[in-house]
Amino acid sequence: MPGLPPNARWEKIEDHASRCAGIKWREERIRAADGTDLALCITDMELGSGATSTAPDVAFYILYFQEIEISSRLTIGNASSIPPRLPDLSSALCMLKRRSSQWDDRNVRCTTACLSYRGYWTSRGRPTEKGLNMDAAAALSWISQLHRNSYGGETQESRPSANVVLWGQSIGAGVATNLAADSTMPANMQLDSLILETPFTSIRAMLEVLYPQKWLPYRHLWPFLRNHLDSWKNLETIARKYETSSSLPEVFILEAAKDELVPKELSQKLYNRCLDVQLPVTRKAVNGAFHNDTMFRGDGRRAVSEFLSHRMCSARVRT
């Protein structure tokens, strides 16, 4: 729920800086298409064995979508502000940086942007699926403009390619697949991959999980939902959207082995869906992890850093 826990709106990046392992975060402000004022947490990293002395070959932009409560009847996990998540995200990025020191022929400029949806942390407004989609699109547009500003003076031949990773946790995974399926990628960017952390197939499926009793009304109200977040459907749309491109976006599914909220069957369905629509997909279950524990545990952070390292090493050097 927006504003929960009670101090969520007053959280500051600096309150958690000492646990971010030297990763420096900053706050940026953007506006959604309807004018809603939103907050982003941003960090930049130079990766690769020659990162400090050589211009980047590739630019990577990781757009992170947090878990939230979607309605008063459907709370999946712990909805809160972005700053408390920064230490675990920073730890994963530090693992990535250490891995990058082993790269022989790749230098990457990596920017991570964590979106605070409307109604959360210092962002204005109230969350709806339509609003969340506008927020995600605004963050993507901001990243596109950042890349243009950073490399606009360079020639097309010398400009690093711009690759986007959409990373969503739980409900955030639905926001990520919505963005990939429904939004047009800016002309100066390409969708590289999606990280779906403890995802579910759709809000309808979660209603049936949370309210299995057939006599309860909630599971039967899905036709009237304003929020669907249907990743199962979105994956087919994404596959069709990119089937004629030079490469399909890769999907990485990160499961919590002891997930107390989302049944394993739902992530299995997403995995099978990727196979059916011919999207490249891998998955990893984090042993001992509950729904919100995957990035708290070293195995989860390691899995994400390995996947990102793989994608960055696989990326084409020029657009």
pLDDT, one tens digit per residue, over 273-316 is 999 999 999 999 999 999 989 999 999 999 999 999 999 998 87
Strands 37-47 and 108-116: antiparallel
Query: What is the spatial order of strands in the sheet that 281-286 belongs to?
Result: 26-31, 37-47, 108-116, 58-65, 161-169, 190-197, 250-256, 281-286
Taking only the tens place, the pLDDT of each residue in 4-22 is 555 666 789 999 999 999 9
Q: How far apart are CA 215 and CA 203, in angstroms?
A: 19
Chunked into runs of 10 residues, the chain (319 residues) has average pLDDT values of: 58 93 97 97 91 77 86 47 94 96 88 95 88 96 94 67 95 96 93 97 78 63 66 97 90 96 94 98 97 94 98 77
Task: Report yes or no: 214 and 196 within 8 Å, Cβ to Cβ.
Answer: no
Q: How far apart are CA 215 and CA 227, in angstroms?
A: 22
DSSP per residue, 125-153: S---HHHHHHHHHHHHHHHHHHHHHHHTT
Which pLDDT score, from 0 to 100, does residue 229 have?
Answer: 87
**H helix intervals, the chain:** 86-100, 129-151, 171-182, 203-210, 231-241, 264-276, 298-314
Nearest to 199 by CA among 263, 142, 153: 263
Domains of the chain in start order, with CATH, are 8-165+178-257+266-314 (3.40.50.1820)
Q: How far apart are CA 20 and CA 152, in angstroms?
A: 31
Q: How far apart are CA 266 and CA 255, in angstroms?
A: 10
Instruction: Give the CA angle between residues 203, 224, 292 to the nearest 5°.
Output: 20
Indicate the angle between helix axes 86-100 and 298-314, nearest 10 degrees.
50
What are residue 286's DSSP bridge partners? Answer: 256
105: Cβ–Cβ under 8 A, 6 or more apart, which residues?
none
